[in-house]
Amino acid sequence: MSSPKQAQPGAELLAELFETEYERIIRYFYARIGDGAASEELAADVFVRALERIDSFEWRGIPMQAWLFRIAHNMTVDYLRKYSGKKTSPIESAENVTAPDNPEDVALMTIERQELLDAMEGLTQAQREVISLRFFSGLSSEETAQIVKRSNGAVRELQSSGLKNLRRILTVRQQQRVRVQGA
Amino acid sequence: MSKNAEINKILDLCLDRVLRKGESVETCLRDYPNQARELESLLRMAIDMCPAGQYTPSPSAKATARMALHRAIQERKDKLSALASPWRSAQVFVSRMLSGQKWALAATTTALFVVLASSGVVAASSNSQPDHVLYPVKRTVERARLVMARDPDAKARLHADFADKRIEEMGVMAAKGDRRRTEDLRQDLELNLNSVRIVVLPDQSIVVAIPPGQAQVPPKGLRPEGRQGPKRDPKQLREMQRFLQSHAQKVDKHYQEFLREASEGGDEEDLREKMQSARQEYQELVEAFQRAYVAQTRESASPAP
């Protein structure tokens, strides 16, 4: 995340950030809500909302990117609250998932992706947030710390415990599958 | 550093090397032979899960979003040009002064304050709500008061007062079903509360987006050095904690009032969540002051080396 850009007027900076952050913000939404089309709409909305409030903000200590992710976080909370019962079909939302050309590989990846999203439901909210930002949006742990408003150490702890929890959940599910197939 | 914190740090470094720099897992594990067993499965799982969570938007979706943003930027420019009224000019002038010299800033702010106050605009704006034409005056006056506040504690108290106002306004906007303004106010509230930390407990603060003039960079004497926080008088911390506690009680009162009136319908569920979130933020702030108070009291009680 850069600092020289901070001297530029907000709207122009936001337009520049759109080019670099749009995909990362979509991936963040996608990891949290599992709906590609909704993620695209929400990501577009993040920038428009940011623009509406750009006059009232100036940046001290953290870059504008972190603010965009904070807005995305708040929108995710609102979205999940509103559509908490909504389940997305993995096939329905698999269209734009980055995947190999081979249809079998695509199917496998779709299943893996759905398993991963299901497994993430077993994490605490803070772990899910950190894992999404680190592994799907590709942020560093320092950037993640600025967004979730925790210390670097706390983020590393959440990352570590989140990964261990995921490993445990995925292992248990794999064992269950093996048992069902064996029966 | 505890063993846990150490391995968390090593895992974080290895994740960056593997996922961001493209190094192999084996290379990382060679550098940390004692932790290799624990690290390996976590690193491999992280590598496996990254592609599964990737999503690439269609080029048309990105183009549409880009167009919407550029259109909004253009509309904003047009709107700003159209609003070149005397009031707008005054507002822009004050904003510019806010980033200038402190003496000039104080003088200009005072002059503007006096002019506006004598015209009755300030008084009329004090009870205005976010959808009212005079609301920008109210917020500008708040910024001016922050600029004129002399010490960190006074600024912190003002931030807490303004946080109270945001809570009241959230209630009014939610009753009108204005979700957007309600959310904006909740974010402003968060900024005010964070500013209290920045001003009084800079070592416990993580700075988020700060409206101009609302939050202050900690004064030089109060800036933390390394991991050490600034020394504060425990009595002052206790006093500030009590002050914030009384504000937290006010938030509770607003929340209860809201619950009584919420049955009339509207967007009460949404506001209930936002109010709860505000209460929690207040509570966390009060606890932060409690921790600082305990730490400073212990430090003061321990014999000098």
State pLDDT tens for residues A58-78: 555 567 888 899 889 888 888
Query: Which residue in the set B55, B61, B76 is minimally distant from A97, CB to CB?
Result: B55
- CA–CA separation, A104 vs A111, rounded Å? 11
- CA–CA separation, A36 vs A92, rounded Å? 9
State pLDDT tens for residues B146-157: 877 777 778 888
Percent of chain A clearing pLDDT 70 (strictly above): 75
B208 contact residues in A (CB cutoff 8 A) = 62, 66-67, 70, 149
**Cα angle: B182, vertex B183, B188; to 5 degrees:** 95
Band (B102; pLDDT cuts 50, 70, 90): low
At a CB cut-off of 8 Å and minimum separation 6, what does B12 contact? A141, A156, A159, A160
Q: Is the pLDDT of residue A156 over 80?
A: yes
Q: Is the pLDDT of residue A160 over 90?
A: yes
Average pLDDT of span B33-44: 90
Task: For B225, list phi and psi in degrees, rounded to 5.
Answer: -110, 120
In contact, A127 and A148? CB cutoff 8 Å = no
Band (B14; pLDDT cuts 50, 70, 90): very high
Count CB-CB contacts under 10 A for residue B242.
12
- The residue type found at B134 is L
Give the pLDDT confidence score for residue B26 in this predicted structure. 92
CA–chain centroid gap for B47, Å, is: 34
Give the pLDDT confidence score for residue B227 in this predicted structure. 36
SS3 state at A27: helix
A:163-182 residues touching chain B, CB 8 A cutoff: 163-164, 166-167, 170
- CA–CA separation, A97 vs A105, rounded Å? 12
Q: What is the pTM of this model?
A: 0.53
Range with the lowest mean pLDDT among B223-227, B249-253, B289-293?
B223-227
Answer with the residue of higher pLDDT: B77 or A9: B77
Q: Is the pLDDT of residue A88 over 60?
A: no
In contact, B38 and B53? CB cutoff 8 Å = no
Nearest to B164 by CA among B14, B302, B282, B268: B282
Give the pLDDT confidence score for residue A108 in this predicted structure. 62
Give the pLDDT confidence score for residue A42 in this predicted structure. 94
- CB of A141 within 8 Å of a chain B CB? The answer is yes
C-alpha torsion B125→B131→B132→B137, nearest 10? 40
Q: Which residue has the tokens 């996922």?
A: B19
Percent of chain A clearing pLDDT 90 (strictly above): 25
**Interior/surface letters A73-109, b for 16+ CB within 10 angstroms, e for the rest:** bbbbbbbeeeeeeeebebeebbebbebeeeeeeeeeb
- The residue type found at B227 is R
Q: Is the pLDDT of residue A35 over 80?
A: yes
The structure tokens listed for B136 are 């920008």
Range with the lowest mean pLDDT among A6-10, A18-22, A53-57?
A6-10
Q: Is the pLDDT of residue A14 over 80?
A: yes
SS3 state at B172: helix
In contact, A42 and A101? CB cutoff 8 Å = no
Band (A44; pLDDT cuts 50, 70, 90): very high
For an interface test with B, give the residue of A49, A135, A169 to mutate (most B CBs within 10 A).
Answer: A135
Query: Which residue in the set B8, B11, B73 is minimally distant from A51, CB to CB?
Result: B73
Answer with the residue of higher pLDDT: A26 or B111: A26
Q: Which CATH code is given to the segment(s) A4-182?
A: 1.20.140
Q: Is the pLDDT of residue A103 over 90?
A: no
Q: Which residue has the tokens 């408003």?
A: A149
Provide the residue ranges of all domains of chain A, joining segments of one domain with +: 4-182
How much is the ipTM here? 0.77
